[in-house]
Amino acid sequence: MTRIYTDCLLMKLALAFIISVFACSSLGARDYLEVHRLGISKNLIEPELISGLPIEKFSKAELGIYIPEEITLSIDEFLKTGKGINPFDPDQVDVSVFFEHELGACVANAFYYEAYSREPSTIKAVFDYCPDAKWNKNKTPFNWRVRFAPPYAGNWTASVHIKAPSVPGIYFSSLPLKFEVMHGNEAGFLETGSDKRHFRLNGNKKSFFCLGQDIAWPDGSRFRGSVNAAKPYLVAGGYMDIQDWIENLSQSGGNMVRVVNVPWSYEIEWDTLGKYNMARAWELDTLFSTCELNDVKMMFCMEHGTYTVLPGEQHLDWNKHPYHRTLKNVEMPEDFLVDSTARSWYRKKLRYFLARWGYSQSLGVFQLISEMEHWTLRGKNTNLKDNKGAQKKFLNWHNEMLAFAKEQVAYRPLLTSTSYGAAPRDHAINAFSSPFVDVVCPRHCYFTQRNDNLDRWNEVNSKSTFEKGIHTLFPDKPAFFDELGFGTSAADPNDIDACNDITYHNTIWATSFMGTAGSGMYWWRWGSNAYRENNFPALAAFFKNVDFE
């Protein structure tokens, strides 16, 4: 390991394991980091250790890192005034940990962290009126953390590296900290199965058939949702409701949920470009914890992809987008795809997300964007599907970001995908043909006819948008419908979601037998526990012992 040499003032550096229900340290009390300073004898600093259950293979190992005081003070100034070192910009401060095992090694990026708790006064009874969510900031000894999922049992070492490029001459490294990883459940992460049509778990190589639905977002920044007085069957959920519904999905036999990042819920970069909302990030921690505790995989969609320059969808108004508000060269959504500064900041956002949540076995599929072709561009009625030049720009951006995402979590499979509505055939084929796309998500199917599931079967196996069918065009990539439902005027006319138990049942059962990697992810009725309880148990029982390997 590289020892530390610096001509700066002696700075405090400590490494400690933070133990949660997911990962615990087995280190002895006398493990040390060795810190060096040019021309001065070494100074040994003992890390704080919190004992608990052993760290298990593929589980979360979380390390807390003390940052030198000079850097910490500058970060505090930035968070207060905007002047100083931005902890979310690795060009200003870059903290990473090198993990090494006899079978392999990798580097995990650290991330800036703040601890929060929910303000009780903003939590009301389920579905009663609830005010906007408020969080209380709590003290933490570790504002910098690293999360790592060890892919091997046995002895590991971890060494910290700290760079502050914005402060000339600062570079710290440490001698290795030793820890042991035990064998455990070892199911692991999703990967493509041997038949190229389904998923399996990379740890035990068992088949994984996706059974789930979209529970995409809280319908507002609140902890508990409310009932629409005029339409009592329409429920607007909050952060805690989303977690309850995911738990219900698991109890009903489901194992997959799709969450879509939007400005009013989990989006961490909406208020200010390059400065992330730590309260929302903490709330996203709780979402991942819910999925982990309930053994549910998540398809997390990073971008909603329907920002508009036209009036109407005010919550997705392009004029409110931080990249547009801040960067002078990002006038229209099309500019977002090509501007070098915008692309640089977006890569940093991807890095932060995958540093903080890329460890999780519950991150089954990382989806870059949803329905990109719906973005309006420069013309009043122009969007991506009408603009060949913009399509080329998007494909370049799409591949750049997915390639970058692949690099961030190199120690385990990261399934990436992109999703389209009724995209132009050539454009969609080019996007799904990318070597960085592992999963093909057909167009979002909101049909209104009685033969809607036949149309979905054609999409995958015969013709439709893709003519030859997805399986023929992409034989080495699993496919499944990540978003579907009935359009308006179908099913129950009294239901604003155009849904009833029969349409819900028929859709998830029919799509499960189309040769895809799972049941179709129904979009409507997130808040209906009854629909899940009525339909998922039998489907889960049917596929429980099916071995696609």
Q: What is the pLDDT of residue 70?
A: 82
Rounded Cα gap, residues 227 and 231, in angstroms: 8
User: Model-level pTM?
Assistant: 0.89
What residues contact residue 28 under an 8 Å CB cut-off, 6+ apart? none
Q: What does the block give as tokens for 507?
A: 């859709």
What is the number of helices (H) and of strands (E) in the chain? 12, 27
Q: What is the pLDDT of residue 10?
A: 29
Provide the residue type at 251 as one letter. Q
The pLDDT of residue 49 is 30
Report pLDDT for 14.
Answer: 39
Instruction: Measure the CA–CA gap between 352 and 79, rounded to whole angstroms.
Output: 17
- Compute CA 224 distance to the chain's CA centroid, rounded to the nearest angstrom: 22
Give me the pLDDT at residue 3, please: 28
Quickly list H helices, 252-332.
278-293, 322-326
165 and 91 in contact (C-beta within 8 Å)?
yes
Q: Do the beta carbons of residue 339 and residue 330 sit within 8 Å?
A: yes
Report residue 357 as tokens.
Answer: 């949540």
pLDDT at 455: 81
| Per-residue model confidence (pLDDT) at position 210 | 97
Q: If we measure between CA atoms, which residue out of 26, 116, 13 comes closest to residue 67?
A: 13
Token pair, residue 130, equals 């609830």
Three-state DSSP state, 346: helix
The pLDDT tens digits of the residues spanning 305-332 come to 767 666 556 667 888 899 999 999 999 8
Using 70 as the pLDDT threshold, list the residues of the chain that sit under it.
Answer: 1-53, 125-129, 227-235, 306, 308-315, 378-381, 421-424, 447-450, 464-466, 487-498
Q: What gap in Å lies between CA 492 and CA 499, rounded to an integer? A: 6
Q: Assess contact for 393 and 349: CB atoms under 8 A.
A: no
Local structure of 154: helix, strand or coil: strand
Give the per-residue pLDDT at 128: 63
